[in-house]
Amino acid sequence: MTDTSPPSHEARCQCGALTATVPADAAPMTVLCHCSDCQRRTGSPFGTIAYYPRESVSLTGETRSYSRGTATGGTITNAFCPQCGSTLYVTMSRKPEIAGIPVGAFADPAFPPAARSVWGQDRHGWVTLPDNMVAFERGLDGK
């Protein structure tokens, strides 16, 4: 029997109990964020999230979630695996039509680079950005 399902990309948590699947031909808007909240969420100096139309993301497995306020007055919700704690899915109250998946969860070195950098005011001094990357000191709209 031949698999006729369309090609897709799969992201997963560390233990593999939670997965997110997106169509292979979906072109994400990928953002590199330096805010202190993303630093704490990832344990690294920045977070990189690929945003897709919400209806194109399929989750499999149990999640827990954590919601927090943002500097721009909205709410961001991180869905994570209750077994290993990996964040695998992000939604924002100000853009309910999109969902984000942390790029590292794809574990794909060929994943396209981020198109923009936000919250540069919190960027670690030793982190350098590509010359052609659009960068904002605060959020996408400079606020």
What's the pLDDT score for residue 6?
64
Write out the chain's pLDDT in tens, 143 residues.
555 566 789 999 999 999 999 998 998 999 999 999 999 999 999 999 999 999 999 999 999 999 999 888 899 999 999 999 999 999 999 999 999 999 999 999 999 999 999 999 999 999 999 999 999 998 766 55
Fold of 10-18+27-122: 2.170.150
Write a three-state SS string for 8-34: EEEEECCCCCCEEEEECCCCCEEEEEC
The neighbour count for residue 67, using CB atoms within 10 Å, is 11
Give the pTM.
Answer: 0.88
Count Cβ atoms within 10 A of the Cβ of residue 27 and give its class: 0-12 exposed, 13-18 middle, 19 or more buried. Answer: exposed
